[in-house]
Amino acid sequence: MLDKDRIKQFMKLFHSLEIGWQVYSITIIYLLITFAALFLRWQIGLMLLFLLIITFFVLYFNYENIIRNLNLIANQLSTDVKNAQEDSIYRAPIGVLLYNPSDHRIKWINPMMQHMLGDKDLVGTVMDEIDEKFVDLLSGDDKQWQIMNYRNHSYKVLHQKESNALYLMDVTEEVDIRNLRKVDRTVFGYLFLDDYNEIVESMDDKQSTTFDSEVITDINYWAKEYGIYMKRIDDEKFILLLNQYVLEQLEKDRFKYYDTLREKYLTRNTPLSFSIGIAYPEEDLYSIDELAIQAQANLDLALGRGGDQVVVRSKSERARFYGGKTDQSQKRTNIRSRLVYQGLKTSITHADNIIIGGHRTPDLHSIGSALGLYRICKILKKPTYIVVNEEDFNKDVRKLLEMEQAAGLWDAEILVDIDHAKQVATKNSLVVMVDHHRPSLSEVEPLIGKYDTVIIDHHRRGEEFPEGPVLTYIEPYASSTSEMITEFFINMRNTTESLNEFEATALLAGVIVDTNNFTNRTGSRTFDVASYLKSRGADSGQIQRIMRENLAHMLQRSEMLEKTQMIEGKYAVIVADNDIIIDNVTAAQSADFLLEVEDVEASFVIYRRTENTVGISARSLGEENVQTIMERLGGGGHLSNAATQIEGVTTQEAYNQLFDQLIDQSQGG
């Protein structure tokens, strides 16, 4: 009944199975259970043994049929899988391309890839002949899908280096929907009428009504032209609702309409200007409340920079500035100065001591402002320290602080370094930043944020700003911080103490430096301040001796001027020798001198400031906003007086960056 050869063949086949040892294990366990059952309950044991015997004979007599059927099933499954693979390669909506890794020639492509690349025979073609984008894709192998634009379509691309294959999936519709959602995102803004109340106060009822109606008509025309929803919420302020697409159009036009409006009202002796703060979302999910808060912050920034400009910014990205071309130094009033002085006086009175810091690499203006503020603190009988770094002094500052009258400041440890300031600071110390507001530029940077902080500055406010100052006095239309601090003394004329001759001289020197000898940003109040300082004993002759150039600097400046080149017929640019370190005063004087040249509207001097830093000193006559140009290069300043510092570049590389900005400024306004 049992054939010996057949049994051997059956066992050989059984041994060849990959799961043979698992079957052996189960069989042994089954036999152990069967023998246990025979001893415990022999009836169950016999049944289990009988079942095992039946199973063996069924397999023994039918294993060829079982193997044959399994092979048929496996072959059919393999055929189905192969057909599915071929169908997916040839008919699926994914392009497949195989290439030769040695020369990037195409070895094979499926019909979908053929269609994507132009319905022509591409086998044997080098991939960079199709588009260089494909060669760029071959340099990476991150196994991540990337988006590529080709022939007005958007594709998701995957490169598998080990198989020398590229996979393309057309996602044009998906990308278009995403882009449509992006441009349709809500954008929130506030529009503010600068000095509106002051203007209408000088009018009678009929004039103010007519003026208001005309302003609303002009703004409504702009809103309707761009499809903006506008709602007036008080006399001076409007809400703006628009979408991302409209914002892109406004930025493309650089908000030129408001430059036109400003000029229109200026010719009528109603100097109305407009400040706008606009916020936009960065993601698909966003909160209108957060947009409104950001828009208000942007409007505050525009107003803090003097108004007459547009600030566009999301929550985490850099602000973009438009406008700000008006130098309105004559619009200042003395009311705010008096109010700020009262607030400053209160802050000083409640502090244990005062720590004053100017900007790094101080000039006469920064030091003069600090000395003036020191006198106020002394009048209020508060211990006061001025933080300086002697290594950063230029020749003018060094001359001033080497005067005999300054000796007492050193001896009494009024002029101290930052380490000394840290030692004397208490939890109730007051830190005062003068002539700057950017912590990264401050002599007292380590103290900012740890103690109550006051800011007194005349530079237009930038994005970098201390968090939570107790008092902020930024007056972009003042000629200088020295002017602002001198006005405090004018407001306290009834006191018995005031500036001494040395302090008055330092403050007047600061005014002279920042106005370029009363030629830039000078209003009637600037001359009032100068008159007051002269009455307190300011020595003009001493200032002239301090600011005199030595022969070496004069020759160096002459050599720099020989390198002047013109861009767009109105920008004068000097690129100084990259290997020679030049004093910032010499660079600034060279920039000032270039403004005296015919046809020059703005001047720029690029010079090596330190071993690792290149500086750019910028000046203008007022038509060109050099502040926004310098801000785009990481700096700041005023409409007509600005600067920046760029690390890790040569003077020529800095020139290349500046050149791009000047071309953009010339073409886009």
The pLDDT, as a whole number, for residue 88 is: 59
Q: Which listed CATH number (3.30.70.1230, 3.30.365.10, 3.40.1280.10, 2.10.109.10) goes with 186-326?
A: 3.30.70.1230
More confident residue, 109 or 62: 109
pLDDT at residue 147 tops 90: no
Across the beta sheet with 471-474, the strand order is 415-416, 384-387, 354-357, 430-434, 452-457, 471-474
Specify the domain boundaries for CATH 3.30.450.20 within the chain. 94-175
Which band of pLDDT confidence, cut at 50, 70 and 90, is reported for residue 426?
A: very high
pLDDT at residue 92 tops 80: no
pLDDT at residue 511 tops 90: yes
More confident residue, 223 or 305: 223
The DSSP secondary structure of 79-94, one letter per residue, reads HHHHHHHHHHHHHSSE
The pLDDT, as a whole number, for residue 286 is: 86
The pLDDT, as a whole number, for residue 59 is: 66
Separation CA 664–CA 643 (nearest Å): 18
The pLDDT, as a whole number, for residue 608 is: 93
Specify the domain boundaries for CATH 3.10.310.30 within the chain. 552-667
Give me the mean pLDDT over the 255-279 stretch: 87
Q: How many CB atoms lie within 10 A of CB 654?
A: 24
* Percentage of the chain exceeding pLDDT 90: 36
Which band of pLDDT confidence, cut at 50, 70 and 90, is reported for residue 48?
A: confident
Separation CA 394–CA 588 (nearest Å): 13
pLDDT at residue 51 tops 90: no
- Nearest residue to 331 via CA among 544, 538, 524: 524
More confident residue, 666 or 368: 368
pLDDT at residue 391 tops 80: yes
Specify the domain boundaries for CATH 3.90.1640.10 within the chain. 344-547
Amino acid at 300: D
The pLDDT, as a whole number, for residue 669 is: 53
* Fold observed for domain 552-667: Diaminopimelate Epimerase; Chain A, domain 1 (3.10.310)
Specify the domain boundaries for CATH 3.30.70.1230 within the chain. 186-326
Contact 431, 384 (CB under 8 A): no
0.75 exceeded by pTM: no
In tens, the pLDDT along 600-620 reads: 999 999 999 988 899 999 999
The pLDDT, as a whole number, for residue 589 is: 86
* Percentage of the chain exceeding pLDDT 70: 88
The pLDDT, as a whole number, for residue 176 is: 74
The pLDDT, as a whole number, for residue 119 is: 61
The pLDDT, as a whole number, for residue 60 is: 62
Separation CA 313–CA 320 (nearest Å): 6
CATH numeric code, 344-547: 3.90.1640.10
Separation CA 133–CA 452 (nearest Å): 55
pLDDT at residue 533 tops 90: yes
Separation CA 602–CA 630 (nearest Å): 12
118 is written with which tokens? 């132009």
Give me the mean pLDDT over the 242-247 stretch: 92
Which residues fall within 8 angstroms of residue 317, CB to CB, at 6 or more apart? Answer: 282
Is beta strand 564-567 parallel, antiparallel or unpaired with respect to 229-232? unpaired
The pLDDT, as a whole number, for residue 3 is: 62
The pLDDT, as a whole number, for residue 141 is: 60
> If you search the block for the tokens 């002051």, which residue do you land on?
198
pLDDT at residue 506 tops 90: yes
Give me the mean pLDDT over the 645-657 stretch: 93
In tens, the pLDDT along 154-170 reads: 888 888 888 788 888 88
CATH numeric code, 94-175: 3.30.450.20
Q: Give the chain's end-to-end CA distance (angstroms, integer).
A: 106
Give me the mean pLDDT over the 427-438 stretch: 94
Any bridge partners for residue 146, and if so which?
A: 157
pLDDT at residue 431 tops 90: yes
pLDDT at residue 331 tops 60: no
Q: Residues in the chain, how many?
A: 669
pLDDT at residue 84 tops 70: no
Which residues fall within 8 angstroms of residue 478, CB to CB, at 6 or more apart? Answer: 329, 332, 458, 484, 521, 525
Contact 496, 513 (CB under 8 A): no
The pLDDT, as a whole number, for residue 518 is: 85
